[in-house]
Amino acid sequence: MNQLDALKQFTTVVADTGDFRQLGAYLPQDATTNPSLILKAVQKPEYAPLLRDTVAAFRGRPLDEIIDRLLVRFGCEILSIIPGRVSTEVDARLSFDTSATVTRAERIIELYQAQGIHIDRVLIKVAATWEGIEAARQLERKGIHTNLTLLFSFCQAVACGQAKVQLISPFVGRIYDWYKKSAGAGWVEADRSGANDPGVQSVTQIYHYYKKFGIATEVMGASFRNVGQITALAGCDLLTISPDLLAALSASDVPLTRALDAEAAKDMDLQHIELDEAAFRFALNEDAMATEKLAEGIRAFCVDAVKLEQLLLAA
């Protein structure tokens, strides 16, 4: 049994890509996309027709609507291949606007439903800002399920649990990147790998907290830099993995065992936390890594959203 098949025994495997032609090789349950992945995909010759066809069909409509229609087009193609859910992201430029995020999410769901896609097969991705989490709270009450992304801190996870969001995507690799850069020459890779990887430790803490207190929100580790980060989180509810790392897992027959155990978490001595807006903002501000990576992630997604708009205008 290769490592990918072994991982599927413990964890729901999710493909992190907009390149849906690669999905069949790895048989993931779900798939996630984001503005950067869609931008990357539409610049490939095999996907350019999707962009041209969408623009041609809806020329003259507002640009933000055409982008949503393109995202849904990719999502529908993905859903024709996988059995589970696809995550589609709300424009990152709305990350600090609760009402606009809710409105945009509702339109994305309506576009999916117009294509015959059931609401339960779509997760709306929203940045885990305070405003984004509040938008997710409102969407969940409407029966629209959410995936809170750009999640780097424990306080973000606590607030998402309080909001009863469907799923969170704590970012392993970007946390690892920050600590490695911060340590500089003092970083010793062997000492900070596997269970000692700071990104792995972050997801593990969140997973244990959720399981200890019966929080139903699903934990999906994301943003991996190497196979070791993935195998160290075997047993997490879900892991969303790039095609390159899915291939590496498929090519390896190194034994893999469960690393995270929900039942074991129930016996841990952990403190339950409640956060209001002021406490959330203070806790996030105290976490330099999370503050920097959240801001950086939103900025990067905004840049790629503008690039995607430019491609649509030029089509």
Task: Just list the catalytic residues.
Answer: 125
User: Are the beta carbons of 149 and 126 closer than 8 angstroms?
Assistant: yes
The rounded Cα 66 to chain-centroid distance in angstroms is 23
Instruction: Tell me the chain's radius of gyration from C-alpha atoms.
Output: 19
Structure tokens belonging to residue 170: 């704590």
Structure tokens belonging to residue 255: 């034994």
Distance CA 192, CA 301 (A): 28
Nearest Cα neighbor of 307 from 181, 219, 299, 195 is 299
- Output the 3-class SS for 203-224: HHHHHHHHHHCCCCCEEEEECC
- DSSP 8-class letter at 238: E
User: Are the beta carbons of 217 and 210 closer than 8 angstroms?
Assistant: yes
Helix axes 130-141, 277-286, angle to 10 degrees: 140
Which backbone phi and psi does 65 adopt, to 5 degrees?
-70, -40
User: Are the beta carbons of 3 and 249 closer than 8 angstroms?
Assistant: yes
Q: Is the dihedral of CA 13, 122, 24, 44 positive or negative?
A: negative
- 10 Å CB burial of residue 278 (0-12, 13-18, 19+) is exposed
Helix (H) or strand (E) holding 254: none
